[in-house]
Structure 1
């Protein structure tokens, strides 16, 4: 079966034929049509499980491009805080050098486009068919709400990568984003504007919020609190400070910051009480060397971890107080007694210890992946409050989180930009390796600046990119341009 690419073949995925079998393995509906898949809510639930599964499998036959968790790493190595220390292993070098996302034929550029449109295509099938499914209305609501949430989540990732930043001072944001496909179709569509894509994201999230509750069977699935977390993220990107603070507070209401002991457990267990949403890595779903912890952990026994462990930007780390438990997530001068590595693994300055799997060395990549944590919501709320001039509330929200990380932390007395800078510092430290830095720099309209730290010129190559430069936009993949006559490329 010959398949067109991406937006021109959105029904391709778990609901078509065996030519995409790698995306079907956990979905019993893999070889039947959408009508049968959504004939009952039981079948539909299995189809939705397949969409979640499609978030974490390998794309483009590339071991290092394993769905959304790979994008979390890529988004961070595009910034300055997650550092690849040497060229002993070449995975994600093209991304950290800002070469992959500016090459329309590279795997690193094609991955997010194919990944998120695959999720959108299958979410569209769910949204179009679930209302007629046999089953309880509460079950139809749950499935439709999750599908809307997954579609909004996917478009939010796409618009941030392939479009220019949202600018609240220049509405409507008429700059081009990505095609806005809302029904199952094989028709190639033109790129919608950034404004229109954000409007649809907000519409989907608002509808999902009316359908979902806080109840769910698994933390790997979207519920109302996750939807509110999405709304907080989107409002922050749109500089809608009031909504960002409101939704972040509502999202985290039933989640408390983890303890200092839990913080050192390895960021690989979805049962952590602070995790709001994540991938629950089951034993029958191993991805071996194509998994998040194969590239971000300190102790998985892979070549990538042994020879090229991830490290933190030295300028950032050196600002972390020693009383802060997060200072233990990296080791400035690693030795055999203060750091964990796989057998034969090198130890390099500022190497990570944040992500850790059971066993040393670990021969399993069965680590869960944190997609959303309450800490992020505290930081969104604090930033949004500070940007509204609500200094006391922002300081209080920040204190509620950071005092759990550092018992010596005092309530901030900073104001204005100084307080915002303090919040953003803690955001960089707290969310290191979880996929936020490139999009944070872009939404803040800040330049890339890798100077004066422990980044090697042989590895990073590129050290400065001005804010607003064309290089902040991923290129539309060449395969999409060749198959969709309605689409145009970003500026080269």
Structure 2
């Protein structure tokens, strides 16, 4: 859906250079984008349409609707490329990504476009206090801050060194918190990684206080942020900081003390009995904390769709069955529903399986998961194993694993073995959902790149994505 913002200029000239025909929907909506503040905030319906537009910007196929997740998965060891197609991430798969790469630049472009829209909306909402009720204004402001936080956090994972390497002292991103309608403020240096994290957590804390407890329907509860959504994302952010005590504090707001684990507050999030149901219509179980909805009228777009890359309908990337891939790990047994029901042999490439989490049939309109309760349980399990109660950590691990493989027994594990089992479980449970490389980076470990045939070390430039060339050419303050 198109956002009804005041005319949005380019916050960086890189946007003008990088926006391609895939993003024409944002460029052709001139009448709506030219509306004045007084007009776009003149009715409650128009205000809400702007909020829906923020989600539409975030779920673009160049960002959370597809490619951001895909590139996180293909950089490491879980998938093998089939097509050598430069359009579908082959250079990234090989570890040869370049700052001039249009598709990588689109992460930056679409991310900052979403951030700018959130900034403009927050400013307009504050300038028009009578446009909606105080309760709705708080709700909408919380959603905008949540989406800004999600976008900044995701971008800093791609374009800056991990927090864990130097406690966030490295250069991060330009921190833009004011709406830009021209290129006048284009000259902006990078804030540190720590400063970006601080802003992300500030936004999430404020969002938690402003967002509603729940929504009136399962669809709204799954596709729009509420208090538990902000809390869940905080567990992800704090885990990336290695703030394990913080993860435990936040997760305890939405995870019961003991099994069966379920949220005791607001939305009663819990694991579904059948993991397959989470990825099938209507996509709105209480395990799905945030998903981006898709429809034929606003599909992710050509060659952006998860199913297009990973399912047997096309198979740009099939599953690595070799010793480095999770598929052959003994913790991922043939009896596990995640293998038995969510992978299939690939007919076009004999002997290699593909993932069926997402439909392989055009127009590929599965909802795209962003936060699931299973992730929150594993975030908490890792934090407990690292710095808390290891008995509870094991119970959380067992809850996630035994949901899909009831007969599996972890036995007795020491601390190191428990952490390894939890990290392995993340590879199994969150497979093809865009977590793998970020899970490696946040722990400061080398990327075991199947495509590059090498371990990419944290000291190498290609360990992270370079700032897009268009940005470095047009923002003199960005530095290197």
Normalised to the residue count of structure 2, the TM-score between the two structures is 0.84
Distance 1:216 1:478, change over 3 A: same
Distance 1:449 1:424 in 2: 15
| Cα offset, 1:240, TM superposition | 0.6
In the alignment, is the contact (CA less than 8 A) between 2:160 and 2:171 conserved in 1?
yes
What residue is the counterpart of 2:110 in the other structure?
115
What residue is the counterpart of 1:326 in the other structure?
338
What residue is the counterpart of 1:84 in the other structure?
81
1:224 aligns with 2:236: no
1:4-403 pair list within 5 angstroms = 6-7=11-12, 22-23=25-26, 29-58=32-61, 65=62, 68-87=65-84, 91-100=88-97, 103-131=98-126, 132-133=128-129, 134-167=131-164, 170-171=166-167, 173-185=168-180, 186=183, 187-188=185-186, 189-216=188-215, 218=220, 219-251=222-254, 253=263, 254-260=268-274, 262-263=275-276, 266=279, 269-287=282-300, 289-300=302-313, 304-305=314-315, 308-315=316-323, 316-318=326-328, 319=330, 320-329=332-341, 339=344, 346-357=348-359, 362-403=361-402
Q: Secondary structure, in 3 states, of the residue corresponding to 2:173? A: strand
Q: Deviations over 1:157-177 (max 9, x none)?
A: 111111111138x55x32110
In the alignment, is the contact (CA less than 8 A) between 2:75 and 2:93 conserved in 1?
yes
Aligned length: 447
Q: Secondary structure, in 3 states, of the residue corresponding to 2:66? A: helix
Distance 2:85 2:178 in 1: 45
Distance 1:86 1:330 in 2: 22
Distance 1:163 1:265, change over 3 A: closer
| Cα offset, 1:35, TM superposition | 4.7
Structure 2 residue aligned with 1:470, among 457, 461, 466? 461
In the alignment, is the contact (CA less than 8 A) between 2:40 and 2:47 conserved in 1?
yes
Q: Secondary structure, in 3 states, of the residue corresponding to 2:291? A: strand
In the alignment, is the contact (CA less than 8 A) between 2:446 and 2:458 conserved in 1?
yes
Distance 1:160 1:182 in 2: 19
Structure 2 residue aligned with 1:484, among 465, 475, 480? 475
| Cα offset, 1:24, TM superposition | 6.9
What residue is the counterpart of 1:444 in the other structure?
443
- Flag structure 1 segments of 5+ consecutive residues without an equivalent: 14-18, 59-64, 332-338
Distance 1:150 1:391, change over 3 A: same
Greater shift, 225-234 or 396-405, is seen at 396-405
Distance 1:38 1:468 in 2: 49
Distance 1:402 1:20, change over 3 A: closer
Distance 1:265 1:4, change over 3 A: closer
Distance 1:236 1:291, change over 3 A: same
Q: Secondary structure, in 3 states, of the residue corresponding to 1:250? A: coil
In the alignment, is the contact (CA less than 8 A) between 1:311 and 1:349 conserved in 2?
no
- Flag structure 2 segments of 5+ consecutive residues without an equivalent: 1-7, 256-262
Distance 1:7 1:240, change over 3 A: farther
Greater shift, 286-295 or 379-388, is seen at 286-295
In the alignment, is the contact (CA less than 8 A) between 1:378 and 1:401 conserved in 2?
yes
In the alignment, is the contact (CA less than 8 A) between 1:268 and 1:369 conserved in 2?
no
Q: Deviations over 1:127-180 (max 9, x none)?
A: 112132411111101110000001111110111111111138x55x32110100
| Cα offset, 1:411, TM superposition | 5.6
